[in-house]
């Protein structure tokens, strides 16, 4: 017998009203009825996560979030918004795709773990890891301090937002958001999609520009580049002590770039002293680095 969608939707809407009133127990019971009818309903699962968190049943909320991500990896941000708890020393490095995420992660890792530290040993690509295995929803809680989390999450889905709030942050966690010239971001993402066999973009440049500007090439990250940057800029204005906006171009020295063609992807290797930028990041993170350490970290990050 087929399930009438209206019956599931009606229960979801009723549960949503109950959640607004703080009646998590009744809301959860109503959602469980809906999930009996439609076990894979993503909206019901996400709201169930919020109810379980509201009732202090965090382990069960994590299990529901893991199930949600397993059913639909695109729901990763939705799930994390409901169950993620920031620690005092959490650092998020966030960008729109192809805007210097890995570079800034290496700078942060150099600040926190020393100039010779490898970012792959200390940082986690949030949505990428969960897409590969939904169990990472749980494993996030097992990561050692401090957690360095790399992400392309849009501002309104940032896991560090207070649960159920749009612009209020949790008590802990800091964000470094990197902005890049949109023309360069457009070109870089186009090459990435063309060279990635799993994507295999082979359309024209005109098609790419239209789709990139409209956000069709980045729907999983909330839409267009401009919406992404605007959302984070506005959030940073509300929380300047917790969200630092950095410009990709400030990390470069014009006319002193070389392309490393030996790697499996092209990346810009800057022959420059980044100690000033690293010092600013360290200060934002509440760290104090000696002059010699800054110089060594700058040299290390510049040659990554």
**pLDDT tens digit string along 181-216?**
999 999 999 998 888 877 878 889 999 999 999 998
Tokens of 234: 């506005």
- Poorest-pLDDT segment among 1-15, 56-70, 112-126, 230-244: 1-15
Q: What CATH topology corresponds to 91-302?
A: Rossmann fold (3.40.50)
Nearest to 102 by CA among 263, 293, 283: 263
Please state which of the ranges 5-19, 231-245, 257-271 shows the lowest mean pLDDT.
257-271
Angle, vertex CA 109, rays to CA 108 and CA 111, nearest 5: 65
Record the tokens describing residue 300, joined without a space.
């290390």
Q: What is the pLDDT of residue 110?
A: 81
What residues does CATH 3.40.50.300 cover in the chain? 91-302
Residue 114: predicted pLDDT: 78
The encoded tokens of residue 197 equal 């066999």
Q: How many CB atoms lie within 10 A of CB 16?
A: 17
Q: Is 169 left (phi over 0), alpha (psi -120 to 50) or beta?
A: beta
CATH number for the 5-83 domain, one of 1.25.40.10, 3.20.20.100, 1.10.10.60, 1.10.540.10? 1.25.40.10
User: Buried b vs exposed e over 42-52: b needs ≥16 C-beta within 10 Å?
Assistant: ebbbbbbbbbb
Element (H, E) at 177: strand 174-179
State pTM to two decimals.
Answer: 0.81
- Comma-separated ranges of CATH 1.25.40.10 domains in the chain: 5-83
- Give SS3 for 284: helix
**pLDDT tens figures, 137-184:** 999 999 999 999 999 999 999 999 998 788 999 999 999 999 999 999
Tokens representing residue 240 in the block: 């300047």
């Amino acid at each position: 017998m087929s399930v009438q969608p209206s019956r599931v939707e009606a229960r979801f809407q009723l549960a949503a009203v109950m959640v607004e009133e703080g009646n998590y127990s009744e809301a959860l019971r109503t959602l469980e009825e809906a999930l009996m009818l439609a076990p894979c309903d993503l909206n019901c699962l996400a709201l169930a996560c919020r109810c379980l968190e509201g009732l202090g049943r965090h382990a069960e909320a994590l299990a529901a979030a893991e199930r949600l991500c397993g059913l639909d990896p695109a729901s990763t941000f939705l799930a994390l918004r409901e169950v993620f708890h920031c620690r005092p020393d959490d650092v998020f490095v966030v960008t729109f795709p192809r805007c210097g995420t890995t570079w800034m992660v290496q700078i942060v890792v150099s600040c926190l773990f020393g100039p010779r530290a490898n970012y792959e040993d200390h940082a986690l690509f949030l949505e990428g890891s969960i897409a590969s295995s939904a169990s990472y929803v749980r494993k996030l809680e097992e990561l050692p301090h401090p957690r360095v989390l790399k992400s392309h999450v849009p501002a309104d889905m940032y896991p560090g937002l207070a649960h159920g709030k749009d612009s209020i942050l949790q008590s802990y966690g800091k964000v470094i958001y990197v902005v890049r010239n949109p023309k360069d971001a457009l070109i870089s993402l186009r090459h990435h999609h063309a060279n990635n066999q799993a994507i295999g973009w082979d359309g024209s440049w005109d098609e790419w520009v239209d789709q990139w500007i409209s956000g069709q090439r980045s729907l999983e990250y909330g839409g267009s580049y401009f919406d992404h940057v605007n959302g984070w800029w506005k959030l940073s204005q509300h929380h300047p002590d917790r969200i630092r906006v950095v410009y990709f171009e400030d990390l470069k020295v014009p006319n002193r770039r070389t392309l490393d063609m030996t790697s499996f992807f092209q990346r810009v290797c800057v022959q420059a002293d980044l100690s000033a930028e690293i010092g600013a990041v360290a200060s934002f993170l509440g760290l104090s680095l000696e002059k010699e350490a800054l110089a060594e970290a700058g040299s290390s990050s510049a040659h990554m």
